[in-house]
Structure 1
Amino acid sequence: MQLYALCDADMLCERGIELLSFATRAKELGASILQYRNKYADIAAIKTDLIALRQTWEGFLLINDHYELATFCDGVHIGQDDLAAIDSDPTRAIKILKMAIGEDKIIGLSTHNADEIAIANELDLNYIGLGAYRASSTKSEAKVLGDKLDEIAAHSKHPVAAIGGVKLDDVFQYVTYKVIGSGLL
């Protein structure tokens, strides 16, 4: 099982953790993917952070939501609402997204249940995020799947990243990536 580091700018700021320190710790723990999420900064600040991360991070670097910045990284992770904002038809939305970021970029999509996985199975994605596994401080409104997460993950044709409250020592049978945020520290 591979480690996927979720670098949430607000969480880092709240805890007084420097961006590149987080990336260094993720690298030390063997993370192969780092997703940068910054919900409140302006595009210029996010771009600056991506450029700094790209200079130090050797694995896959993804941006959360801001697909207009995919040029500065290896791809994008989007949520269900972000996909719907591109187009109401998920297949068309992914085609539009690929045209915007390029065919060679990674696309990940958050899913929360078997119905969303069934739709994702019809889409040209590189992986899905599935969760939340546990409640977490960054997504308090998320529905917790608990031990059902692994059972639901078995239905995905795409590699699955377990999201939401995942810990380093959690074990799954049908999950490819464990997404760890503050649990890295």
Structure 2
Amino acid sequence: MKLYALCDADMLCQNEVGLLAFAARAKTLGAEVLQYRNKNADIATVKADLLALRQVWEGFLLINDHYELAPFCDGVHIGQEDLYAIDPDPHRALKILKMAVGEDKIIGLSTHNAKEIEIANTMDLNYIGLGAYRATSTKSEAKVLGDDLDLMASASTHPVAAIGGVTLEDRFQHVTYHVIGSGLL
């Protein structure tokens, strides 16, 4: 199992865990990727947090949605809504995104169903996030895939990161990364 740590600022605050303490915990568990997500702070705060993480995190550091901050990390993870906000055509949206972040940056895309996986298979992505595996408190509207997640992952031509309610104990046959957030706390 490869571990991908999701560092959600709201979750850290709610659990009274410091940003760098979370990164240290992820490192001790062997995480290779750390995605920083902060949906409520201003861009200057998000940038400052990324710079602080970059000082201590040796693995891949990704930013969630704020692709304008890609120069300060290794890439970006973007959701479906955010991709389509760039352009209604997902291929054009990805082309625009790549021009904005640079060809050398990692790009991951959230997917939630077979149709989104099918579209993602036609795109030049580094990986897809697939889920939610279980219900989570951070995305209450997410459709839970449960045991269908692993079967759906087998249809992807990209490496798959299982997202949403994944724990360290979960095992999947067709999933490359386990995205763990609050389960690391």
1:53-88 deviation line (CA, Å, top 9, x unaligned) = 000000000000000000000000000000000111
Q: Distance in 1 between matches of 2:168 and 2:132?
A: 15
CA distance in 1, matches of 2:137, 2:28: 24
Corresponding position of 2:108: 108
TM-score (norm 1): 1.00
Find the aligned partners of 1:137 and 1:75 in 2 and give their Cα distance: 25
Match of 2:7, SS state, is strand
Aligned to 2:44: 44
Distance 2:108 2:55 in 1: 23
Aligned to 2:34: 34
Question: SS at the partner of 2:30?
Answer: coil
CA displacement at 1:132 relative to structure 2:
0.2
Detail structure 1 runs of 4+ shifted over 2 Å in the superposition.
none
Equivalent residue number for residue 87 of structure 2: 87
Identity %: 78
TM-score (norm 2): 1.00
Quote the offset at 1:44 in angstroms. Answer: 0.1
Q: Number of residue pairs matched?
A: 185
Q: Does 1:127 align with 2:116?
A: no
CA RMSD of aligned residues (A): 0.4
Deviation at 1:38, TM superposition (A): 0.1
Rounded Cα–Cα distance in structure 2 between residues aligned with 1:122 and 1:89: 12
| SS of match in other structure, 2:172 | coil
**Whole-angstrom CA distance in 1 between matches of 2:158 and 2:10:** 29
Q: What SS does the aligned partner of 1:157 have?
A: coil
2:23 aligns with 23
